Structure 1
Amino acid sequence: MNKLLSAGLAGLLTLTLALPAAAHTGHADGTGFLAGFLHPLGGLDHLLAMVAVGLWAAQTGGRALWMLPVAFVTMLTAGALIGMGGFELPMVEAGIAASVAVLGLLVVLNKRVSVYAGMALVGVFAVFHGHAHGAEMPAAAAPVLFGAGFILSTVLLHGAGIATMLIGRGVAKRLARPTAA
């Protein structure tokens, strides 16, 4: 099961790397909670990176299960505030593309690092994602509603990654059990 999951993630990673990062500014539609909620779902790069954080957190286990997503959401919010403030951040698209590649590889390779190193890594990537969300926020948007929307969406994507990994492990354990003849 882990090989199947790894192969699928590797395929999605390859596809994503072949495409330009979808974090281009100025294309957001809508101004409220729903627009913010849907924003992370509109780009494959955002979607994959946020799910990968959940997958990696579950793979790592222990405190990482909640600390990696919390670090991501915290720094996502900081990055969004930077973007909303009109401050430029260099290489946002490159940072987002790198997040997909690096996080995908960490999951595929089942790489473990200390919880704090993992938090720092996902935090750096989250700033890029947050900046893109904040900079893409429509001028007429209600910042709190739009922000709450993309934060909730991010949390749910992390949860989807965590659930996928935990369910996949459970299925793999059941398939590995010897059956009674």
Structure 2
Amino acid sequence: MNIRSIRLAALLVMVATPVLAHSGHETSGFAHPFTGLDHLLAMVGVGVWASMLAVKRPAAAYLVPASFIAMMLVGAAAGFAGIKLPLAEAIIVGSVLVLGALIVAAVRLPSVAAMAVVGLFAVFHGYAHAIEAPTSGTGLYILGFVAATALLHAAGLGLGWVARRSLGDVAIRALGGAVMAGGALVLIAN
């Protein structure tokens, strides 16, 4: 094994997590994005993809994740308002697979188009956060899942930048493959 293979293996081990089902959530909402592999992978995937896009369009590093967070809040508002979004769980799992595929294929959309893609997916993630919210303490819950989402986006950005610097494009594509594989696990487990 060469040093690049060891680094790639170490990177993949760091991002691997066990499959977690959505379980009870505390009132802060911070844990919610971490309790479902689908949410976790999608949010990290957004960060990894944004890091890839930022090579040619540096503003994508913050515009793409910010778009996700803004539209996630729109989806949460819909959920709290009692609006029903059909196929939410299927679209959430689909978002993981699509984000992974975009990374694997090294798709470099213009920032506005990338913002629209992640924004569409974010509506459904926000909706899921809202419909699983506790009946009290909604403000704190919202702040919690927004903070966790921002943290996961930052982790994805960091992983993307470290992967690119240490192993190049192949490492970022491997991260995309890991995101897709996790999405497949979620699909199989449901």
TM-score when normalising by structure 1: 0.79
Aligned twin of 1:177: none
8 Å CA contact 1:46, 1:129 repeated in 2: yes
Residue type matched to 1:105 in 2? Answer: A
Q: Retained in 1: the 8 A contact 2:25–2:31?
A: no
Number of the residue aligned with 2:140:
145
Structure 1 runs (4+) deviating above 4 angstroms are none
Match of 1:178 in 2: none
In structure 2, the residue matched to 1:43 is 36
Tell me if 1:55 matches 2:48.
yes
Q: Which residue of 2 aligns with 1:129?
A: 125
> Over aligned residue pairs, what C-alpha RMSD do you find?
2.6
Instruction: Look up the match of 2:186.
Output: none
| CA displacement at 1:155 relative to structure 2 | 0.2
What is the distance in 2 between the residues matched to 1:134 and 1:29? 11
Does structure 2 conserve the Cα–Cα contact (< 8 Å) formed by 1:81 and 1:134?
Answer: yes
**How many residue pairs are counted as aligned between the two chains?**
158
Match of 1:172 among 153, 167, 177: 167
Q: Give 1:167 shift.
A: 1.2
Query: For the residues of structure 2 that align with 1:133 and 1:73, how far apart are their CA atoms?
Result: 12
User: What SS class does the counterpart of residue 40 from structure 2 fall into?
Assistant: helix
Percentage of pairs with the same residue? 43
CA drift of 1:172 comes to 2.4
Distance 1:135 1:170, change over 3 A: same
For normalisation by structure 2, the TM-score amounts to 0.75
Query: C-alpha separation between the residues in 1 aligned to 2:96 and 2:25?
Result: 24
**Cα displacement (A) at 1:156:** 0.3
* 2:80 matches 1:72: no
SS of the aligned residue for 2:30 comes to helix
Instruction: Return 5+ residue gaps in structure 1 as ranges.
Output: 174-181
Alpha carbons of 1:59 and 1:145: their partners in 2 closer, same or farther (altered >3 Å)? same
